[in-house]
Homo-oligomer: A and B are copies of this chain.
Amino acid sequence: MSQLKQTYYEPLTEDAAIRLALGINIFTENAALTCREIGDGNLNLVFHIINEQDGKGVIIKQALPYAKVVGESWPLTVKRAKIEADALRTFGQLVPDYVPKVYFTDDLLAVTVMEDLSHLIIARTGFITGETYPLLSKHLGEYLAKTIFYTSDYGLGPSEKKAQVQKFINPELCKITEDLIFTDPYFDADTNEFEDGLHTDVEALWDDDELKFHVNVLKRSFLTEAEVLLHGDLHTGSVFAANSDTKVIDPEFAFYGPAGFDIGQVFANLLFEVIVNVPNRGLFIHHIETVWNVFKEEFTRLWNTENKEVLAKTDIFLSYNLSKFFEDAIGFAGCELIRRTVGLAHVADLDTIEDEQTRLAAKRTTLELGKILIKQRKEIFTLDAFIAKVKKVV
Question: Judging by beta carbons under 8 Å apart, are A223 and B314 in contact?
Answer: no
A317 at interface, CB cutoff 8 A: yes
Option from B159, B161, B171, B227 in Cβ contact (under 8 Å) with A158: B171
A72 at interface, CB cutoff 8 A: no
Question: Judging by beta carbons under 8 Å apart, are B226 and A311 in contact?
Answer: no
A142 at interface, CB cutoff 8 A: no
> How many copies of this chain does one complex carry?
2
A97 at interface, CB cutoff 8 A: no
Interface of A is mostly: helix
Contacts A163-B169, A166-B166, A217-B320: A223 and B158 contacting too (C-beta < 8 A)?
Answer: yes
Question: Judging by beta carbons under 8 Å apart, are A171 and B159 in contact?
Answer: yes
A213 at interface, CB cutoff 8 A: yes
Interface string of A215-231 (1 = CB under 8 A from B): 11101100111110000
Question: Judging by beta carbons under 8 Å apart, are B162 and A216 in contact?
Answer: no
Chain A positions 159-181 with a Cβ under 8 Å from a chain B Cβ: 159, 161-163, 165-166, 169-172, 174-175, 178
Min CB distance A205 to B, Å, is 12
Contacts A158-B171, A158-B174, A158-B223: A312 and B216 contacting too (C-beta < 8 A)?
Answer: yes
Query: Given contacts A183-B311, A213-B320, A216-B311, could you give 19 more A-B pairs where the C-beta distance is less than 8 Å?
Result: A153-B220, A153-B223, A158-B174, A158-B175, A158-B178, A159-B175, A162-B170, A162-B171, A165-B165, A166-B166, A212-B311, A213-B316, A215-B311, A216-B320, A217-B317, A217-B320, A219-B312, A220-B312, A224-B227
A203 at interface, CB cutoff 8 A: no
Option from B166, B170, B216, B312 in Cβ contact (under 8 Å) with A169: B166
Question: Judging by beta carbons under 8 Å apart, are B158 and A162 in contact?
Answer: no
Question: Judging by beta carbons under 8 Å apart, are A174 and B162 in contact?
Answer: yes
**Cα(A273)–Cα(B367), bound, Å:** 55
A381 at interface, CB cutoff 8 A: no
Question: Judging by beta carbons under 8 Å apart, are B213 and A317 in contact?
Answer: yes
Min CB distance A67 to B, Å, is 15
Interface string of A136-164 (1 = CB under 8 A from B): 00000000000000000100001101110
